[in-house]
Amino acid sequence: MEHELQSTKVYAHYLRVNIYAKKNFMKIGYLGAGAWGFCLARLLAKKGYTVVSWTIEKDLLETLQKTKEHPYLKGRPAEGTITFTGDLEEALDSADMIVEGVTASGVRPVFEAVKKTGLKPGTPIVLTSKGIEQNSLLILSDVVVSILGEEVRPFVGAISGPSFADEVARGLPTAVVATGSPDLVGTIVSTFTTNSFRIYPCHDIRGAAFGGSLKNVIAIGCGISDGLKLGNGAKAALMTRGLHEIVKLAKAYDCRPETLYGLSGLGDLFLTCSSELSRNYRFGKLLAEGYSAEKAKKEIGMVVEGAYSAVTAVQLAKEKESPMPISETVLAIIRGTIKPPDAVALLMARAVKEESL
């Protein structure tokens, strides 16, 4: 009870800080204008911040400049002081905060460009992509630090958790977590919180990154299961055993198990595995219907982060010798080395072990 009371007081403090947030952060440079990026840039502009949204997609930029409406969020035009640009320098110039919304694979090239363009010291950087970099196996905040230097680490944080751009844009209640250093987490909470977008402080940035990235792989598996019409029991088993292998792996990388059982783990897993709004889930269903990975990606028309994260999941598992049979099987299906029905038979034929970690 005492712990809950203390947590309530801390959260209330973050919300009180929100009253003063606009005095501290006037201009926000938003890097990336996909549906999620547009959604959060729109949220910030509605709160009264000056937002400059940057994208390299020329057709999208033209549409946004002309209509202030995203093609994937029809009827939800941007409000407030928001502009769209293809000039990175314009987005970064005098920015009091940088928010990233590209893709997991795009974080490195974008921040290499940021380094060349220049960023004033001490600028908070908030990551909203979910992923772990292939080969280097760095969480995205560490990717940014590796590029900009160790001195930026206290200023790099992230937002993660169960959220769909369409629902947030509609003002439906959503709860996520903010991770990073204590001071930065307070800044993120105060800057992004609205009456319908609630942010919980979390200081396990690695655990949140693992949950946000690896749940996408399990979501593909659940999409495959539903595409094969295997039933609700099969999907429940995939979600539960999928969470099991994520937590086991995350513990090997010094993540806190409780983080994986929170919003950025279990919460995000449940949402992504059970909704047609999830592109990872839809990607899995298309694979079950016989689509190749490339054809399925083209059909969806947006980046499928789970396809990228499946590679990373297997790389992480090999490094720590932590078996991830579901993730390994999903990757094999994506690569076309095994067909979905055969993959199900192989998983069901595995030796039975005690369920506990």
Instruction: Tell me the per-residue pLDDT of 56-82, one tens digit each, with 9 for 90 and over.
Output: 999 999 999 999 999 999 999 999 999
Report the pLDDT value the prediction gives residue 3, as an integer from 0 to 100: 40
Close Cβ partners of 304 (under 8 Å, ≥ 6 residues apart): 220, 279, 280, 283, 296, 297
CA distance 317 to 229: 29
Residue 355 lies in a domain: no
CA distance 312 to 77: 36
Domain boundary among 157, 187, 203: 203
- The answer on 66 and 185 residing in a single domain is yes
Domain boundary among 203, 234, 251: 203
Close Cβ partners of 41 (under 8 Å, ≥ 6 residues apart): 28, 30, 33, 51, 53, 78, 82, 99, 101
Report the pLDDT value the prediction gives residue 355, as an integer from 0 to 100: 80
- The answer on 155 and 98 residing in a single domain is yes
- The answer on 190 and 230 residing in a single domain is no
Residues of the chain with pLDDT under 70: 1-25, 357
CA distance 145 to 235: 38
- The answer on 301 and 288 residing in a single domain is yes
The 8-class DSSP code of residue 292 comes to -
| CATH code of residue 294 | 1.10.1040.10
Report the pLDDT value the prediction gives residue 353, as an integer from 0 to 100: 83
Nearest to 65 by CA among 74, 77, 76: 77
- The answer on 212 and 181 residing in a single domain is no
Rg, C-alpha atoms of the chain: 20
- The answer on 216 and 196 residing in a single domain is no
Q: Are strands 27-31 and 174-179 parallel, antiparallel or unpaired?
A: unpaired
Is 215 assigned a catalytic role? yes
Contact 357, 244 (CB under 8 A): yes
Instruction: Tell me the per-residue pLDDT of 283-306, one tens digit each, with 9 for 90 and over.
Output: 999 999 999 999 999 999 999 999
Report the pLDDT value the prediction gives residue 318, as an integer from 0 to 100: 96
Q: How far is CA 348 from the centre of its chain?
A: 30
- The answer on 181 and 80 residing in a single domain is yes
Burial class (CB in 10 A: 0-12, 13-18, 19+), 9: exposed
Longest CA–CA span in the chain (Å) reads: 60
CA distance 306 to 280: 6
pTM of the complete model beyond 0.95: no
- The answer on 334 and 274 residing in a single domain is yes
Q: How far is CA 201 from the centre of its chain?
A: 16
Burial readout 240-267 (b: 16 or more C-beta within 10 A, e: otherwise): ebbbbbbbbbbbebebbeebbbbbbbbb
The active-site residue out of 215, 235, 285, 297 is 215
Domain boundary among 203, 218, 237: 203
Q: Are strands 97-100 and 82-85 parallel, antiparallel or unpaired?
A: unpaired
Report the pLDDT value the prediction gives residue 236, as an integer from 0 to 100: 96
Report the pLDDT value the prediction gives residue 36, as an integer from 0 to 100: 97
| CATH code of residue 46 | 3.40.50.720
- The answer on 194 and 229 residing in a single domain is no
- The answer on 185 and 40 residing in a single domain is yes
Contact 132, 312 (CB under 8 A): yes
Contact 81, 115 (CB under 8 A): no
